[in-house]
């Protein structure tokens, strides 16, 4: 039995997932929601003021937003919600137009820890951004069946059901037409789709996405299937929480940090390993008249809730999970623990999160990996180490993580957003 919830939140998540096929689209959509809630964009190259109110900065596939309450001083601590915008997928190579045996194909590179088989025989669109001659960029979103990675027929691979082995270079190249490949054809097509002259497109960051929309699943519609829940589910929830908590607590500055490149290590100017969050926090302190001392005091009193999806117990593989920790879909957000610091949670973080869930009336669950199965990680430990901020790792429990299509409980996105809002309002 799932917990009671407001289905409107999950309906809205489904729209957000569909409209955000790439990190760049996710940032644009989150920024639009923030603007409607009274936030305004701050340019990184401009001087910042210390006035009260909401602001956000965007850089590529990353966004940092914050709300300065009335009367906030330079040492006012931060309450940070952390998440990431990227998902494992197939990304287009710099020289994309390829093919053989009479098929037109697109050269792709594997991004992150993708479950390769989930991209086979699936109708895919293309999305991302085009970099233009004048230094600007524009989003592109072809949300219709355009490319497909065809699997080899079982007649030609009789052992496929006994163990499918996919070569990343040879077997994952999608087709998108018949004939002889022509250099520049993909860029010409996408430029036309975006209403641009092909000669003005000098670069791109493009990726494939499933065009199958999110859907409720099950007899009682208590499950949600969809793409990119890892980790746009958290980005959506954190955006909702930030707008709900903006200006409500004068003791803290609520912050949303949505990073790119978590799926391949976070080492970039838009990743959690980069300087973006620290720079924003430091500039915010400085804009309110603070220096090194005030910044140190603000960070010492700050707290971060790092949200990323986690593993619900799989009914077909229960032996892969810890026997005493079985997070369930519909059971509320999970608290992630790993004593080797793959997650940043400790006892004080557990207490902080438990208190937030108690205030929100939200059930929660504990997650720890089976000792015989390597544990994943996320931005939590990075954020804690880089900025000296106490951090706890949480998330929603899902199945099929890193698949082209993942599964969660219908109530869990709403419960996660409510827990986040309570965290921002201690």
C-beta neighbour count of 151 within 10 angstroms: 16
Question: Rounded CA gap, 296 and 241, in Å?
Answer: 26
For residue 25, give the nearest of 55, 56, 63 by alpha carbon. Answer: 63
The kind and range of the H/E element at 11 are: helix 7-19
Instruction: Please report the beta strands in 2-61, taking only residues with DSSP state E, as ranges in sequence order.
Output: 40-41, 53-59
Question: What are the backbone dihedrals phi and psi of residue 395, each rounded to the nearest 5 degrees, phi first?
Answer: 165, -175
Residues sharing a CB contact under 8 Å with residue 102, sequence separation 6 or more, in sequence order: 178, 179
> How high is the pLDDT of residue 1?
41
> How high is the pLDDT of residue 270?
97
Residues shown for the chain: 426
> How high is the pLDDT of residue 3?
57
Q: Residue 329, SS3?
A: coil
Return per-residue pLDDT of the chain as tens, 426 residues.
445 667 899 999 999 999 999 999 999 999 999 999 999 999 999 999 999 999 999 999 999 999 999 999 999 999 999 999 999 999 999 999 999 999 999 999 999 999 999 999 999 999 999 999 999 999 999 999 999 999 999 999 999 999 999 999 999 999 999 999 999 999 999 999 999 999 999 999 999 999 999 999 999 999 999 999 999 999 999 999 999 999 998 999 999 999 999 999 999 999 999 999 999 999 999 999 999 999 999 999 999 999 999 999 999 999 999 999 999 999 999 999 999 999 999 999 999 999 999 999 999 999 999 999 999 999 999 999 999 999 999 999 999 999 999 999 999 999 999 999 999 998
Structure tokens at 256: 């949303």
Alpha helical stretches, state H, 254-376: 276-287, 292-300, 347-360
What's the DSSP call for residue 148?
B
First and final C-alpha spacing in the chain: 29
> How high is the pLDDT of residue 6?
77
Question: Rounded CA gap, 285 and 387, in Å?
Answer: 14
Q: Residue 21, SS3?
A: coil
Burial zone of 413 (CB within 10 Å; 0-12 exposed, 13-18 middle, 19+ buried): buried
pTM (2 decimals)? 0.97
The kind and range of the H/E element at 391 are: strand 390-395
Structure tokens at 158: 């009789």
What's the sign of the alpha-carbon dihedral 377, 378, 381, 385? positive
């Amino acid at each position: 039995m799932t917990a009671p919830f407001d289905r409107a939140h999950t309906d809205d998540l489904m729209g957000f997932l569909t409209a955000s096929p790439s990190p760049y689209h996710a940032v644009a959509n989150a920024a639009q929601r923030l603007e409607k809630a009274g936030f305004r964009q701050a340019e990184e190259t401009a001087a910042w003021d210390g006035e009260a109110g909401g602001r956000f900065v965007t850089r590529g596939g990353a966004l940092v937003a914050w709300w300065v309450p009335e009367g906030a001083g330079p040492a006012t601590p931060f309450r940070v919600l952390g998440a990431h915008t990227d998902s494992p997928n197939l990304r287009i190579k710099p020289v994309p137009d390829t093919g053989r045996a009479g098929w037109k194909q697109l050269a792709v590179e594997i991004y992150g820890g993708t479950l390769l088989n989930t991209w086979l025989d699936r109708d895919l669109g293309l999305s991302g951004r085009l970099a233009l001659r004048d230094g600007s960029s524009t989003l592109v979103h072809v949300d219709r069946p355009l490319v497909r990675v065809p699997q080899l027929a079982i007649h030609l691979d009789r052992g496929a059901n006994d163990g499918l082995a996919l070569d990343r270079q040879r077997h994952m190249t999608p087709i998108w037409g018949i004939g002889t490949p022509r250099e520049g054809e993909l860029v010409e097509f996408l430029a036309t789709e975006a209403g641009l002259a092909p000669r003005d497109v000098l670069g791109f960051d493009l990726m494939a996405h499933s065009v199958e929309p999110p859907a409720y699943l099950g007899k009682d519609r208590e499950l949600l299937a969809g793409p990119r829940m890892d980790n746009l589910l958290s980005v959506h929830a954190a955006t909702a929480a930030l707008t709900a908590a903006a200006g409500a607590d004068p003791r803290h500055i609520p912050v949303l940090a949505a990073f790119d490149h978590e799926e391949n290590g976070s080492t970039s100017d838009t990743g959690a390993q980069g300087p973006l969050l620290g720079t924003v926090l430091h500039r915010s302190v400085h804009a309110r008249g603070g220096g090194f001392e005030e910044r140190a005091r603000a960070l010492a009193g700050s707290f971060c809730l790092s949200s990323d999806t986690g593993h619900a117990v799989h009914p077909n593989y229960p032996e892969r999970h810890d026997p005493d920790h079985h997070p369930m879909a519909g059971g509320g957000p999970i608290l992630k623990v790993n004593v080797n610091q793959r997650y940043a949670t400790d006892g004080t973080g557990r207490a902080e999160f438990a208190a937030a869930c108690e205030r929100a009336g939200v059930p929660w669950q504990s997650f720890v990996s089976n000792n015989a199965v390597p544990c994943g990680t996320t931005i939590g430990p990075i954020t804690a180490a880089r900025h000296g901020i106490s951090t706890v790792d949480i998330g929603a429990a899902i199945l099929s993580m890193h698949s082209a299509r993942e599964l969660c409980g219908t109530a869990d996105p709403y419960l996660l957003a409510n827990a986040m809002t309570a965290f921002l309002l201690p």
